[in-house]
Structure 1
Amino acid sequence: MSFPKENPQLPEGINNQHESPFVDFVIMAGALLLAVVSLSFLIGWGAVRIAPTVPFEWEPDISLAPSGYSSEEDQRIADYLQSLTQQLIPQEAEIPSVKVHWLPNVDAANAFATSGGNIHVTRGLLDAVNSENGLAMVLAHEYAHIELRHPVVLMLEQIGHTLIALLTGFDNSSAGTIAQQSGLISLMAFSRDMERAADARAVTLINNYYGHSRGAEELFKHILETDERADHQWGLWQSHPATVERIEFLNSHKKGGDTHASLRPLPSWLSESLNSNSEAQ
């Protein structure tokens, strides 16, 4: 048997890439990014549609409030907030129960809803509103989140985005990072829509209860006056609509007679209690 004296010449171009490795990487990374982001937004879209079908009783009962109140005055405030909220809820409402919790040691003007029908109200919120109408708007807004099943939407979105991160290997791959960040963008985008929907529902509720919506913008005006960052636009990273936008929305939904309607003051005992607590601090 004879062997060739030299290696044969291979045909030109065999096993050689026609594109640069960098271009191939960019194409693959772009395809992965598009797939993950599309899946993330699909999860958000699906969560909005699935949430209303989830029985309310399946929601985890998440409350961030203390188990009891340290004084009878705090209990009285909690009872008042619970009573006012119940009066705002339509009789035909399908939500079995809503529990309102009073957070007397939180100075930030805030209220928020958690799953299981829980609403939390801070001391700072009561300091920020000037009438029962302004307080009722905030309570109605948080109830609207519960009625519209927004806590379940967020829960389903978070579960979906966590699964994406796990499937893409969040701990050891850049794809997982993409999944987490695109999921956060989707979550916050839906959150802005939720806030707008809750504002619209709340206006309907207070109109039904008071016959007008005057005073609904009190908290937002307070935020605008006291927080110079309140109306900064942060694009996709801003979870709530701009404060000015919300005030304009509420003003646009006022009826002609609203400017002459009288506001219902907060109970005198409540104002006295808040003032005495402020002096004690």
Structure 2
Amino acid sequence: MRWPIFWIFWALCASQAIPIGFSSSELSHLAGDPVATHKVVLHISKDKADVGSLVLALFGQTAPKTVENFVGLASMAPGYGYHGTIFHRVIKDFIIQGGDFERGDGTGGYSIFDKKSFADENFDLHHDKRGRLSMANAGKDTNGAQFFITTSESSAHLNGHHVVFGQLVGGFEVLDLLNTAPTGENDRPVSRWAIEDADIFVEPPAETGSLGSYRFFMGLCLVSSVCYAAVQWNHRRKKVVITGFRSM
């Protein structure tokens, strides 16, 4: 019974170190970022043919209202949102922009909050990585539904003007395809690049400090107790069998 106990102990330790829902490769793109609370997978098509997915980590502790809005629109919870919408604007080595479910040209879309715009939460995070997920707007405190993902390593001039609330952690090959998509008037892609569907995963908040340690310790005690009980039960079962044999 020693090996099962070891592996259970190892699994418990690993579960404390690696957040459920993100692979090690995805986590590598979150270095220096705050806790990711959500994972959203956008399934992308080009002229209705599947090309892959954009995998986004959202920072719900840093920008809770902005994340709530994005998740609501991605899930179509209010009865409207991103499903079937296009990326209407692509500027190579700068951004890809989408989210206008109302008109599809960059002039429409609204939030889940009474279908109105909402204020900028903060500018704590910067556009200092390729794949930053940020809110598009028409000026201060005019956030609605439109968003963009950066395709350059740094776009510092956007800092203080657009709220960063997520980071691309997977599907960079799809981002590359969109980044180099041929465009026409108003930076609109010639082909129809669309969000067909979305999968949403909520990341359980990590437990830290005394509460997390206490629960880990209690869980370990519980596992040990179960294993000990199993050993004792097996031992007693063997004794019964042997006694029965001797009595014959």
TM range (shorter): under 0.3
Q: Which has the higher contact order (CA 8 A, sep 6+)?
A: 2
Structure with the higher fraction of residues in strand conformation? 2
Compute the TM-score of the two structures, normalised by the length of structure 2: 0.27
Q: Which has the larger radius of gyration?
A: 1
Compute the TM-score of the two structures, normalised by the length of structure 1: 0.25
Structure with the higher fraction of residues in helix conformation? 1
